[in-house]
Structure 1
Amino acid sequence: MEVCFKIKELLKENLSKILEYRKNPVKKTDGSYVSEGDLYTEMLIKNLLADEYPDFKLVSEETPEINIENIKQKEVLILDPIDGTENYISGLKEWGVAVCHYKDGKHQESMLALPELNCYLSTGDKIKKYDSRICGISSSLTKSDLLNLEEGYEYRIIGCCVYNMYNVITGSFYSFQNNKGAYIWDIIPGLNIAVENGLNVTVENEQYNGELLEPNKKYRFKISQK
C-alpha cells in the first residue's frame, strides 16, 4: 500500500495549508465548484508522483482533458483531490480525497481519506463493522426522487461520496447508492474497497468485481451490506 500511504502522510502534513484554501471557488461548466484547495491538493500529489512515481499517469477530476489517454497506461493513479467541494468551501468537515492505483488494468490499492475528520480507509485495513439501518443517498437526487424513496429506512444526504463510501464500508450505513451517476474518480476507490470487504456492489445494475472503468462517463451504482 505504498503510494496510498505516502499520499496519506502528505495530506496529514499539509492539512493546515489545505484548509487555508477554502476560498475563491470557481463554478465549472457542469455547475459544480472547484476551489483553490482542490488545485493545491492535486498539485501536492502531482509533485509526489513526479518525484517518486514518474511512470504513473494521473487521471484526476481537475485535469479531465488527459483522462482518456492516461487510463490506458500501465500505471494509473485515479484521483479526486477534494470530493465534496461544496462541503469544503462551506466549512464542513465532511469532504474527502479519493485515490486508486491500477496496474495493467488490475486494481492494486485504494484509499478513502477524510483528512479533517482524521479518518482513513485503505486496501488491506482491518475494519470493525457496525450494524446500521441508515441508507446514504446521493445529493444529486431531485425532490421527486426523494419522495419516492423506499419506506422502512433512515436516509442521510451528506454530499460527499468519500464520506458515504467510508460509512457503508464500515457498516455505519446499511447501503449507499447513486441513481444519477458519478465519474470514476468519485467512486472507483470506494467500489474496490467495498468489494474487498465482501459488500454487494453493483455498477449499472451489474455485479462489480474491480474492473477498470472508462473515465468519460457517469456510472450509477449501489453498495449494500447484503
Structure 2
Amino acid sequence: MQDEYQVLESAIKQAGQRAQTIRQSGLSVTTKGRQDFVSQADIAVEDELKQVIRSLFPEDGFLGEESGLIQGVDTNTSGVWVIDPIDGTTNYVQGMDYWCVSVAYVKNNEIQVGFVYAPDRDEFFMAKKGQGAYLNGARLAIDDPEKGQAIIGLGRSNRRPVQEYCDLILMLDTQNVEYRRFGAGALMLAHVSSGLVHGYFESHLNSWDALAGLLLIKESGGQVTDFLNNDGLLSGNPVWAASPQLWENLNKLLFLV
C-alpha cells in the first residue's frame, strides 16, 4: 500500500502542475452556479487522477466534484476516493495562488488518507489515519494561539442565507476574533493544520472540499466536527475545525449563529 500511495502522491503533484500549464496556455471557463466556475482544467485534472486511482485501487469507488459518484466493486467493503480537482477555481482562474487539489480516501465511514496540494505555493500536505500529518515532509503539530491572536478562516455557502454569514461575522467581531475568507475551503483547512490560521468554519461544505483537510487537522492535534455523520459524504455538512482551546472557546457560539 505504501508504494501505491507514493505513486498517487506523484500523480497529484503532476495533476496540479498540469493545471498550472493549462492556465498559462489559456482557459475556457463555464459557470455552474452562483458561486461556482468550472474550467477545462478541473475536468482534465479529475480525469487524470481518476485514471491513476482506478489503476492503483480498482475495487474502490470514486466521488469527484465534476463526475459525481462511481460505486466500488462491493459497496460493503470498498472504500471511496473523494476528489476536488481544483478547489478555489475562481482564484485559480484569476491567477491567484490560493487554490489546491484535494484527495481523500474514506472507508468504514472514516477518513483514512488525505492529500492537499497547492502548486502555486509549493505546499504538499498529507495525512494518514493514526500516522500524523505532514507539510512537505515535516510533521505538523497544532498549537493554540496566544490570547487575542486567533485567526479564523471562513467560507460562505450559497445554501445558507446571507444574513447567517453576516451574523457570524458580527459574533466574531464581538468576541475580538480575527477572520479571513480566502475562497478555497480545502486549503484553508490544511492551513489550520500548519498554523497559518487557527480554525475554519463554514455552515455547509461538500465532502470533496472538506475531508482531506479535516484529517490533516485531526492528525496534527486539532478538533474537528464529525463530518461524515448524517450522509455527509454525499450531502455535505457544516464544518468547524480548530486548535483545541479555540474549539472549546467558540464551539457553542458558532452553532448558535
TM-score by length of 2: 0.74
- Mapped to 1, the partners of 2:109 and 2:13 lie a distance apart of 29
Could you say which structure has the higher helix fraction?
2
8 Å Cα contact 1:100-1:189 kept in structure 2: yes
- Mapped to 1, the partners of 2:64 and 2:15 lie a distance apart of 19
1:215 equivalent in alignment to 2:229: no
What is the aligned counterpart of 1:162 among 177, 182, 186?
186
Partner residue in 2 for 1:34: 38
1:153 equivalent in alignment to 2:148: no
Q: Secondary structure at the match of 2:234?
A: coil
Partner residue in 1 for 2:12: 11
1:138 equivalent in alignment to 2:155: yes
8 Å Cα contact 1:129-1:170 kept in structure 2: yes
Identity of aligned residues (%): 22
RMSD of equivalent CA atoms = 2.7
Letter in 2 for 1:20: T
Q: Which runs of 5+ in 2 are unaligned?
A: 245-257
What is the aligned counterpart of 1:183 among 187, 206, 213?
206
Partner residue in 2 for 1:111: 115
- Mapped to 1, the partners of 2:4 and 2:201 lie a distance apart of 28
Greater shift after overlay, 158-167 or 141-150? 141-150
1:60 equivalent in alignment to 2:77: no
Change in 2 beyond 3 A, CA 1:16/1:174: closer
Change in 2 beyond 3 A, CA 1:96/1:16: closer
1:127 equivalent in alignment to 2:131: no
Q: Which runs of 5+ in 1 are unaligned?
A: 203-207
Greater shift after overlay, 147-156 or 2-11? 2-11
- Mapped to 1, the partners of 2:33 and 2:228 lie a distance apart of 30
User: Rg bigger for which structure?
Assistant: 2
Measured against aligned partners, the alpha-carbon deviations of 1:27-50 in whole angstroms (never above 9, x if no partner) come to: 115651111111111111111123
Partner residue in 1 for 2:87: 83
TM-score by length of 1: 0.83
Any runs of at least 4 consecutive aligned residues in structure 1 with deviations exceeding 6 A, and if so which?
Answer: 209-212
Measured against aligned partners, the alpha-carbon deviations of 1:82-136 in whole angstroms (never above 9, x if no partner) come to: 1111111111111011111123434321112112211111113311546451111
Greater shift after overlay, 13-22 or 29-38? 13-22
Measured against aligned partners, the alpha-carbon deviations of 1:143-167 in whole angstroms (never above 9, x if no partner) come to: 7346524221221110001221111
